[in-house]
Amino acid sequence: MSDEGETVAELEAVDVLAGAPDAALRGLASLLTPFTAAPGTTLMREGEAAHHFILLTDGEARVVVGERDDNELAIVAEGSIVGEIALLRERPRASTVTALTPVRGLMGGRAAFTQLLAIEGVADKVVTRARRRLAAGLVPVPMTLDDGTALRLRPVLPADQWRLLEADALISAKTRYRRFFSVTGITPATARYLTEVDYIDHFVWVAIDDEQTGVGGASYIRSRSDPSVADISFSIMDELQGRGLGALLMGALAIAARRNGISRFAADVLSENAAMVAILNRAGMEWDMADRGIRHGTMAVPEPAPYGIAADTERSLGALVDEIGFRAWHSLGTTRGSMR
């Protein structure tokens, strides 16, 4: 096999390039340089200017923020892309990447990165994975319930899948039915759908306690037919219900929606779910007639302040949304979201 053929074969195993046409891979291969590195080799360093990215084809590397090893963001393995975030955001590198094992990969500069993003479907994959990696490094925002309970709010992470499955076993059938209109437990596929989001068209806030346990969440999913509208839903652990968390989540969800170009919310709620109906009524929800006990309504995205979101908290939550949804990458000619 020729050197180019070997490079193309390696590219076919890279996650974001799965299913890419052979011609596109050959064009990209011509712009990439193979490399190897021993364990302990620094592949990228925090603070340095970003001039290249890596497609890891064998081995593992550690991604760390700062000087301490316990500030680990991720372990990346073969099939991963590394260094793309700084190129997308046109900023210095925000983390250090070090080889954990002997690694082999393909290195490319800005021309190769532009070629990579030009392959159909690849830009959305790269950007979504970059957002998820950014989300893992964000500091949650402190919030306080009406009774003084201290919680923190952060975007959902793919790693929350197992936490969601564990939490599902602890909630009552009534709470589960109010959220999913079914008493059936959450499946792994559902957990993956609820946590592997793109933070633009599908956004989820998670409220966590001091032990990092998720105690509630709120999500929106943008409509395919009308990008200005999103369906919203809430889920709160039994012991936190009736203590003001639902209102705070509504305010936080409004902040994310406004920053991502959503102007109206839609919701389906059980008529018996008086607490959620009351929160939505306060937001100006206009209800259709109930059908088999389920009420459907629409409303303008509300202001966050009436839901207990102080001005400094609004700024902090907005900063998280902006950080994870980073806008600089639009100059590379990519599309804005996977559902658009």
Per-residue pLDDT tens over the stretch 270-316: 887 888 888 888 888 898 876 777 888 999 999 999 999 999 999 99
259 and 326 assigned to the same domain: yes
SS3 18: coil
167 and 23 in one domain? no
Q: Quick one: 107 and 160 in the same domain?
A: no
Buried b (16+ CB within 10 A) or exposed e, 83-104: bbbbbbbeeebbbbbbbeeebe
Tell whether 166 and 314 lie within a shared domain: yes
- Looking at the fold, whether 175 and 322 belong to one and the same domain comes out as yes
**pLDDT(253) > 70:** yes
Rounded Cα gap, residues 302 and 179, in angstroms: 21
DSSP H helices in 200-244: none
pLDDT computed for residue 185 by the predictor: 59
Inside any domain, residue 132: no
193 assigned to some structural domain: yes
Q: What is the pLDDT of residues 187-229, one digit of tens each?
A: 778 778 788 899 999 999 999 998 888 888 899 999 999 999 9
The answer to whether residue 243 is domain-embedded is: yes
Local confidence band at 142 (pLDDT 50, 70, 90 cut-offs): very high
Same domain flag for 83 and 154: no
- Proportion of the chain above pLDDT 70, given as a percent: 86
Please give the average per-residue pLDDT across 251-273, as a whole number. 92
Q: What angle do CA 178, 180, 182 make, to 5 degrees?
A: 85
User: Does 208 lie in the same domain as 278?
Assistant: yes
CA dihedral 283, 284, 286, 292 (to 10 degrees): 30
CATH number of residue 16's parent domain? 2.60.120.10
Residue 125 counted as domain residue = no
Give yes or no: residues 102 and 189 share one domain.
Answer: no
Number of domains in the chain: 2
Q: 247 is in which domain, residue-wise?
A: 142-332
Distance CA 234, CA 221 (A): 12
How high is the pLDDT of residue 166? Answer: 55
Q: pTM, whole model, 2 decimals? A: 0.80
